[in-house]
Amino acid sequence: MNGALELPGDVKDRIRELQELEKRVEAGEEGARRELRRAVRESTPMVIARCADVSGKSRGMLSEAVSGGRPLIKEALEAKAEAMRSEIAGEDPTPLELLLAEDITNQWLVQEMLGAFYAGQFQRREHKGESEHKGATISGIAFLLKFLLKMQESAHRRYLAAIRELARVRKLQAGAPAVQVNTQVNILGSG
């Protein structure tokens, strides 16, 4: 794990607290929903702000990895990710919608990065292939393929889950009084 790009400990604690409270509400504990409402109200601005910070920097790192150090491609990717994020968030998004839009964009970028890495590996192998022992090349590709395919599958699942989550939040927000959250989120272009 990249130590510099982790959510801070207090944010992780809040997330754990929300998870616990949600479980207590689901278990039918009296008063737990009221407590959860309070926790959501208090935690949301801080969690979203920190996530936006980590997310912006993460997007920068992923774009850099996809571009392979070519500044024009990095810039184009960042612009596309930004356009995607604001289009998904829509007009006047709630902070939660903004976070989910950000999440969807990140997951898309992760897929792009894995795809670029995958293609790059094959290109590199083709280039070096002649001087290598055939057996070693085949076993190397099998190992890498397995690993990358697994990562790509997980990334795709997460991408779809993030889209579903945003759709669900929007659908349910339309039918319920939303939890009032006032927060200012400063989104960095790429970190």
Partner 1 sequence: MAWEERGGRLYYYRSVRDGERVKKEYLGRGELAETIAHADETIRRHREERRAQEMAEGEILEDLVAPALEVREAARVLARASIVAAGYHRHRGEYRRERGA
Residues binding partner 1 (CB under 8 A): 1-2, 5-7, 11, 15, 18-19, 21-22, 25-26, 33, 36-37, 39-40, 43-44, 47-48, 51, 54-55, 57-58, 61-62, 65, 96, 99-100, 102-103, 106-107, 109-110, 113-114, 117, 132-133, 135-136, 139-140, 143-144, 147, 151, 155, 158, 161-162, 165-166, 168-169, 172-173, 175-179
Q: Token pair for residue 77?
A: 């990717």
Neighbours of 77 (CB within 10 A): 24
- Cβ closest to partner 1, residue 55 vs residue 190: 55
Which value, in Å, is the radius of gyration of the alpha carbons in the chain? Answer: 20
- Give the residue with the Cβ less far from partner 1, 75 or 179: 179
**Closest approach of Cβ 51 to partner 1, in Å?**
5
Structure tokens at 13: 């604690």
Q: Which of 125, 103, 4 is nearest to 51 (CA)?
A: 103
Long-range contacts of 19-22 (CB under 8 A, 24+ apart): none
